Amino acid sequence: MKFFIDTANLEQIKEAQDLGVLDGVTTNPSLMAKEGISGEENVINHYKAICAIVDGDVSAEVISTEFEGMIKEGEALAALDSKIVVKVPMTKDGVKAIKYFSKKGIKTNCTLVFSAGQALLAAKAGATYVSPFIGRLDDISVDGLGLIEEIREIYDNYGFETQILAASVRHSAHILGCAKIGADVMTGPLSAILALLKHPLTDSGLAQFLADHAKAAGK
């Protein structure tokens, strides 16, 4: 399973990259705003900065909700760097845009997916990635991981090449659940990735090893 980090924070992206497990980045207008990035030129330069850090795909989201606007924005974003994946919302015009981009060889990420039917349409249109938002489903007492299972079964039935990118991942249990089901990618905060490192027995075991070493060295 690929690990993407869901942020526009360059320091967090660098930390995840340095850890050696980062495969890509997902961003959106909200994450850009959180980092104080505004204005078209600043946003474009920020995408370039992200691409300079990571080796894998970087999802960059269109703002327009109309087909023509999506095409114009998406082509401009894709021209920035070969790593850019154009992030398009799951709407009627969004699906049409995904089909257009697919024919042009431009990678896409269909975002704001909350049902297996939506994921099926995205795959039919040729999306590179589909992003079911499991955390937001959990927030309304719907099983987010259950949706990943449904999509996995459907895609496997028909050999769709669209990758399941589990989004809105909140914690390490989400990551492990996605890995067990067979999601192709997960994207989440740095905190969720780092939480996989932690176990109390690891901490206590290391402390004991160090204590034993210090004791032996003092002899």
CB count within 10 Å of CB 113 equals 25
Q: Taking a C-beta distance cutoff of 8 angstroms, is the pair 91, 131 a contact?
A: no
**Three-state DSSP state, 175:** helix
The DSSP secondary-structure symbol of 142 reads -
Q: Say which of 2, 87, 96, 219 is annotated catalytic.
A: 87
For residue 47, what are the contacts with CB-CB under 8 A and spacing of at least 6? 27, 58, 60, 77, 80, 81, 84
Which residues face 133 on adjacent strands? 167
In whole angstroms, give the CA distance from residue 68 to residue 87.
Answer: 15
- Whether 87 is catalytic is yes
First to last CA, the chain: 47
Q: In angstroms, rounded to a whole number, what is the distance separating the alpha carbons of residues 88 and 158? A: 23
Active-site residue numbers?
87
